[in-house]
Homo-oligomer: A and B are copies of this chain.
Amino acid sequence: MTDEKAGPVRSITDLARIAGVSVSTVSRALTAKGALNTETRRRIQALADHHGFRLNVAAQNLRLGRTGSIAVLLPLGHERGQHLSDPFFMAMLGFLADELTERGYDLLLSRVLPQGDDWLDAFIRAGRADGIIIIGQSDQGAVLDAVADRYRPLVIWGSHGPRNRYLTVGTDNIAGGQLAAHHLIDRGRRKLAFFGNVAVPEFAARYQGFLAALPDDVRGQVDLVHAHVTPEASQSVATAYFAAGNRPDGIFAASDVTAMSVIAAAADHGLRVPADLSVVGFDDVPMARLTNPQLTTIRQDIAQGAHLLADLLVRRLGGDDGTSIQIAPTLIVRDSA
């Protein structure tokens, strides 16, 4: 006896008809929730399998008053193109996908152009996600603070500021800057420069920690060079810097990409790294060990960062409060400094 008479099975209603039971029985069988005769459950599951039927997740979520997904927002704040080429952000994204999947959530990826003070509000109100992770606070601190007061499932990857009302997970950038400073000083470097855009809070904190850990006489003559995050832009800035005759003996770059740009530009000007110039990066992207010379850098633990972001958000979704977390960076000594 076949039950092929009916057409395609598109809903639990269809399946209920074929199985000769009610929709709620089918629902219970397929969600493994609620009491149900074991045999009935088995039979219905087999039938569903046979017809290649699966519960429609969207409808299920609507009924449950949730969406089942977490939005990951990449704000394109300071500089276009950053996130396209920045291996750090991209690696973070990959890990987040894993962490969220493990917790039963889909990852809704959105690159947003933060304009005005309404962009985040508008996104939230559209109800497309149960929670939001923003990678990088960019220059949107005020917007984040305003929203955080009334929208709880929101976690930011970024620098922790004591006055932030929003929740962050991030590397202790100040400590990272200090590590870089100590290392360069230990190497006997005295004429230093920092390459990075200090309008980005993370980078500002790295710079701040860097300065703080330097001896007074060294600190006074540090060059602050406004380098962009894209390889092209930062390389041209570095080239201009060397072309102008600047000859520091130690450079702390706000990211590995910037560090690599600096090294490339230095090579063009006949400067040997690390003989003439020590360069310390930040991130420890996978490629940092493939450069020539291999990059000495301050490592951020991306995997742990993603884990903590997901964890904190899911906990908030469950009603817990949670608190901002800083991850300690590590100095990775290779050849460039």
Binding site for B on A (CB under 8 A): 52-59, 61-62, 67, 69, 72, 74, 83-85, 87, 90-91, 93-95, 97-98, 101, 106-111, 121-122, 125-128, 230-232, 235, 257, 260-261, 263-264, 267, 286-287, 289-292, 294
Contact = CB atoms under 8 A, between A and B. Distances in A.
A55 B125 CA distance: 8
Contact of A127 (B56, B62, B107, B127): B56
B286 A85 contact: yes
B57 A126 contact: yes
State the 7 A-B residue pairs at the shortest beta-carbon distance, nearest first. Answer: A90-B90, A54-B125, A85-B286, A260-B290, A84-B94, A107-B109, A292-B292
Contacts of A287: 85, 87, 231, 257, 260, 287
Nearest to A51: B125
A94 B55 CA distance: 31
A286 B87 CA distance: 10
A54 B84 contact: no
A273 to B, nearest CB: 9
Name the prevailing secondary structure of the A interface residues: helix
B94 A128 contact: no
How many copies the complex holds: the figure is: 2
A161 to B, nearest CB: 27
A135 to B, nearest CB: 12
A245 B147 CA distance: 62
Contact of A290 (B52, B54, B264): B264
A291 B295 CA distance: 11
Nearest to A293: B292
Nearest to A56: B127
Contacts of A62: 58-59, 62
Contact of A109 (B67, B93, B231, B286): B93
22 contacts: A53-B125, A55-B126, A58-B67, A59-B62, A62-B62, A69-B108, A74-B94, A84-B94, A93-B93, A94-B111, A98-B111, A101-B111, A106-B108, A106-B109, A107-B109, A108-B108, A231-B286, A235-B289, A260-B287, A264-B289, A267-B292, A291-B291
